[in-house]
Amino acid sequence: MLELIPLLMFVCVCVFLMLGYPVAFTLGGTALAFASFGIISGDFNAQLLRATAERLYGTMINGTLIAVPLFVLMGVILEKSRIAEELLENMAKAFGSFPGGLGISVVLVGALMAASTGIVGATVVTLGLISLPTLLKRGYHPAMATGTLCATGTLGQIIPPSIALVLLGDVLSSAYQQAQLNSGNFTTKTVSVGDLFIGALIPGLILVGLYLAFLLGVALIKPSLTPAVQENHEKVSLTWLIKSLVPPLLLIAVVLGSILSGAATPTEAAGVGAIGAALLALSKGKLNRQCLREAGESTTKVTAMVFMILIGASLFSLVFRGFGGDHQVEQLFNQMPGGVVGATLVVMGVIFLLGFILDFIEITFVVVPIVGPVLLAMGLDPVWLGVMIAVNLQTSFLTPPFGFALFYLRGVAPPEIQTTDIYKGVAPFIVIQLLLLLMLALWPELVTWLPAQLSQ
């Protein structure tokens, strides 16, 4: 019976989350409830709970996690100041006269927003509010319009600087060190958030390229699904387009360039990005007291949510290990047919299914610390594993009927849009996502080559 307790803990968390209870308190409350029963029955060592304070203190002094509120602030300022909306409108005017031009504009601007916000929900909702009415008005098929928006909105999972990659990088760093210590290697190597950013760069660009190729193919084969805009008054000058496009591109280039060149850590680059976004909004006359207040409130809410979940997940993983759950996972993976390949496939399948009911933050803080050390001890590259998890979750967020991106867009879509239209629209993009996962599995160098080159 004792060996079933870790599994029961996980099942209880899933049940309470599906009932609508807050994630952070569900994780912490479940852990404390099982720990209490374990202490009463004599199956749990109460002294282990003392490590909670040490874990919380470790979180407080973790400089990497400072990047979270700073990157959130950067993205929120660009959103609240309507710079992203202005950019999308100008690009739509510039490319709208071509078949598929509006959809291509959405993907390009969505990629820029993903690189600046890194939050799936915010990107999907913003794109839906800004772009969906325009796409439908210009004659785009509802399935094409909604599918493009949902898929583009999830790019924030994989395109750096992504909040998901920041959190994954921090968790995988600890898991990698634990895996090496468990293997008897006390001169441990480290993996940083910057390494994960660099590793995700090429897969992110490939994914954007595949999205664009698909839209171009649809425009050539069946242009009626993605018609060109006919009105001449919608044109915009090249000079005006460059003026609206260059500043946010320059901001993203400075943030990513400082990380890739080693001139700044992700935390320092996040600070530069937040200040840069504020200066950019100020230079365009879009930064006022209301914008700053809304940006501050949104950043505080998101940051508080992330760290409350981190606290609850830390307590959950502590109690999970106290009941021997980590050893059971290790034994399960070692006995699994197919070795490291079989174990990786199972973990990816479980993470994909959990993506239906858990956000990436919960999965990062709860699941990855449990399975990460075991997989890394089996020889997997931590950067490759992190990127695979990010792309896998991105695919899960797109998959009907429970994908988070579908819910976000459904919430802002007009009533005439059928849910089946959204499901049909995302289907080809799910195939593209699976194709990217297959490519990364067959050619891990797509992830590992660039970090190896820049580390020399």
The string of pLDDT tens digits covering residues 328-386 is: 777 777 777 777 888 889 889 888 888 877 777 778 888 888 888 888 888 889 999 99
For residues 290-300, give the mean pLDDT.
87
What percentage of the chain reaches a pLDDT higher than 70?
93
The boundaries of the domain holding residue 411 are 62-287+382-454
- 259 belongs to a structural domain: yes
Number of domains composing the chain: 1
- Lowest-pLDDT choice from 194-208, 292-306, 403-417: 403-417
Supply the angle between the helices 142-153 and 120-137 in degrees, to the nearest 10: 160
d(CA 97, CA 185): 60
- 358 belongs to a structural domain: no
d(CA 432, CA 354): 21
- 196 belongs to a structural domain: yes
- 280 belongs to a structural domain: yes
Closest listed residue to residue 113, CA positions, set 126, 96, 98: 126
**Residue predicted with more confidence, 17 or 221:** 221
**The predicted structure's pLDDT at residue 209:** 94
d(CA 339, CA 367): 20
Q: pLDDT class for 231, splitting at 50, 70, 90?
A: low
Closest listed residue to residue 153, CA positions, set 355, 388, 394, 353: 394
For residues 147-151, give the mean pLDDT.
90
CB 391 within 8 A of CB 430: no
Where helices occur in 237-338 by DSSP H, the ranges are 238-260, 266-283, 289-322, 325-334
- 423 belongs to a structural domain: yes
**Residue predicted with more confidence, 2 or 234:** 2
Helix (H, G, I), strand (E, B), or coil: what is residue 359? coil
**The predicted structure's pLDDT at residue 61:** 81
Judging by beta carbons within 10 Å of its beta carbon (0-12, 13-18, 19+), is residue 416 exposed, middle or buried? exposed
Is the pLDDT confidence value at 116 over 80?
A: no
d(CA 249, CA 447): 23
Of the ranges 43-52, 81-90, 417-426, which is most confident? 417-426
- 324 belongs to a structural domain: no
- 30 belongs to a structural domain: no
Q: What is the pTM of this model?
A: 0.82
The string of pLDDT tens digits covering residues 24-37 is: 888 889 989 999 98
Closest listed residue to residue 159, CA positions, set 121, 196, 104: 196
- 217 belongs to a structural domain: yes
Is the pLDDT confidence value at 172 over 60?
A: yes
**Residue predicted with more confidence, 420 or 190:** 420
